[in-house]
Amino acid sequence: MSGRRAGRFTLTAAGVALALAPALTVGPAVTPALAVTPAPAVAPAPAATPASAVAPAQAVGSAGVPTTAVDPGVASAAVVRPASSSTSPTALAPATTASPSASRPLRPTAADPGPDAPGPAAGLTQRVECTASSGTSPASAVRGSDPLAAVHRLADGDGQRVAVIDTGVSPHPRLDGRLIGGGDYLAGGDGLDDCDGHGTEVAGLIAAVPDPVTRTGSGVAPRAQVLSLRQSSSRFTVTGPDGRDRPAGEIGTLADAITRAVALRATVVNISEVVCVPQAQADSAGAPLRAAVRAASEAGVVVVAAAGNVDPSGTCTGAAGLRPMPALFDDVIAVAAVDGDDRVAPFSVPGPWVDVAAPGVAVASLSVGGGATGPVLNGTSYAAPVVAGVAALLRQRFPSLTPDQVADRIRATARHPAAGRDPRVGYGVLDPLAALTAEPLLLSPSQDPAGGSVTGPRTGTGPDVASRAGTGTLLPGLGQRRPDHTVALSTGIAAALVLLGAVSALLRRLRRETGRARTDRRPGPADHPDHRRPEHTPEPLARR
């Protein structure tokens, strides 16, 4: 955030790993078109039906209904879309677990569209079938414990509204009553259609309630509201000014979606999307997006974004000189991905803009149609919503904190890398419980490996993690963390001051009583000037 920032826990039903990398077409007035391809193939998954096997490509309107006429128009300057975690941009991650009560809920009511409600994108065409809901029998589900139970005793996201700017969020029983449609920048509508499944997975990581059978799979902020803004999709294309098709979702509409989220009273915005551009073009191509993020922060909204996934075939190749947006911006908490042992995910894009890391390997979440995925999701797309959920908890527990102060608290309480700030994980791996309990209220991160205002345990990013295990207090589901003795030390100092004050008061009282005794004593021979003895001052009580 301001001044560019240059116990481990497992999520069992909340995660979606789509490394975002939109096909960025910077309009002719800016630069030649730049194709921003999907993030890398992180985990193979069965491929979706190719476009050629589906009905011929056709323009669609709201909810995927074909339209007879779509104005080809001129598309905006840059296309941004999330990329699948599978081997192909059109591949689907398999869903493996369904809840017995996985019947699709009634469609929630959309937010008041207002005068600036998004409309259908010009030249929108569906090229690939939507993700099909699937799942296995809940009989295989095993009851488990909630790894975030200690966190949820302190805060659960109640009263917070987290905007998910993504591929849309499909209504789901485990989001019932808290899902709000904010708008659809592709087909028009309420934003509650999710053809890709990505946005639903991201929303589950943030705000899903536990599975009713296993009691596992809780989102980080299970009582927060989710505001869905559909802004991108790998299943659709739009026609560019040059007449060529490109993936739906653009930098201009992403900026508009952030602005709309603020207008619809979001307290946190999650963006599991990224577009990598050469450094020379970052200022010009990203100007609208930077301005929208800055305005959101000034309005008191925390913005969290994925750092991006390395994709040799796309724009986020990991090469020097590329800059991921919006993760690059100072007013964004940029999130990298680690596995369950705090080891850096090989696909996570490193850089000085990375603030913290969170679990983004082999995670699970909600699926379209009311079920849940297995632990097959990989990507910084799934690490970002974990941090967004913690930001919502902090907004609930400490409502006076500004977005900068929330970000500082998250960074200062992270499990710091052994060698200090690291471009792969920033200030370290997210520690939700420490973020909610560390003192004082206002914390500042430090570049020093010794830590910032709060000295946290050292968490490495390589194989030596296991060798340091067991050196701290094991918190339920949150990994190793040394106990914070700040409260005990403060109490001891206060008690010592009280005792010192009591001793001082007793000495003053003894001196006063001794003085009165001298005044009341009658004069005698010893008081005659010729018989004066050397003046003697009573000594204070001896310390033993």
Q: Which of 348, 396, 356 is nearest to 162 (CA)?
A: 396
* Residue corresponding to tokens 């910084």: 380
Q: Which of 461, 454, 462 is nearest to 481 (CA)?
A: 454
pLDDT for 238 equals 85
Catalytic residue among 198, 218, 355, 446: 198
Catalytic residue among 311, 381, 408, 431: 381
Tokens at 434, concatenated: 């420490």
Beta strands in 344-394 (DSSP E): 356-359, 371-373
Q: Report d(CA 3, CA 424) in Å as an integer.
A: 19
pLDDT for 493 equals 78
pLDDT for 245 equals 84
Q: Dmax of the chain from CA atoms?
A: 127
Is pTM beyond 0.85? Reply is no
Ramachandran sector of residue 505 (left: φ over 0; alpha: ψ -120 to 50; beta: rest) = alpha
Q: Report d(CA 164, CA 176) in Å as an integer.
A: 16
Give the percent of the chain with pLDDT over 70: 63
- Cα–Cα distances (Å) from 143 to 114, 146, 385, 463, in that order, read 44, 10, 24, 31
Q: Which CATH architecture has domain 127-134+146-439?
A: 3-Layer(aba) Sandwich (3.40)
Question: Is residue 485 flagged as an active site residue?
Answer: no
The domain segmentation of the chain, as residue ranges, is 127-134+146-439
| pLDDT tens profile 215-227 | 999 999 999 999 9
Q: Report d(CA 324, CA 137) in Å as an integer.
A: 40
Question: Is residue 342 flagged as an active site residue?
Answer: no
Query: What is the DSSP code string of 234-253?
Result: EEEEEE-TTS-EEEE-BHHH
Question: Is residue 381 flagged as an active site residue?
Answer: yes
Tokens at 110, concatenated: 């959309």
In our burial notation (b when 16+ CB lie closer than 10 A, e otherwise), range 221-249 reads bbbbbbbbbbbbbbbbbbbbbeeebbbbb
**DSSP 8-state symbol, 400:** T
pLDDT for 33 equals 34
Q: Which residues pair with 436 in a beta bridge?
A: none
Indicate the helix (H) or strand (E) that contains 259.
helix 251-263
Catalytic residue among 156, 166, 256, 422: 166
pLDDT for 516 equals 66
Q: Report d(CA 229, CA 207) in Å as an integer.
A: 16
pLDDT along the chain (544 residues), means of 10: 47 35 33 34 39 33 31 36 39 37 59 74 84 52 77 98 98 96 94 97 98 93 98 89 83 96 98 94 94 98 97 83 96 98 96 97 96 96 98 98 98 94 97 97 80 43 32 32 47 76 84 67 49 45 45
**Residue by residue, what is the 3-state secondary structure of 82-144?**
ECCCCCCCCECCCEEEECCCCCCCCCCCECCCCCCCCCCCCCCEECCCCCCCCCCCHHHCCCC
Q: What angle do CA 90, 91, 97 make, to 5 degrees?
A: 135
Indicate the helix (H) or strand (E) that contains 412.
helix 403-412
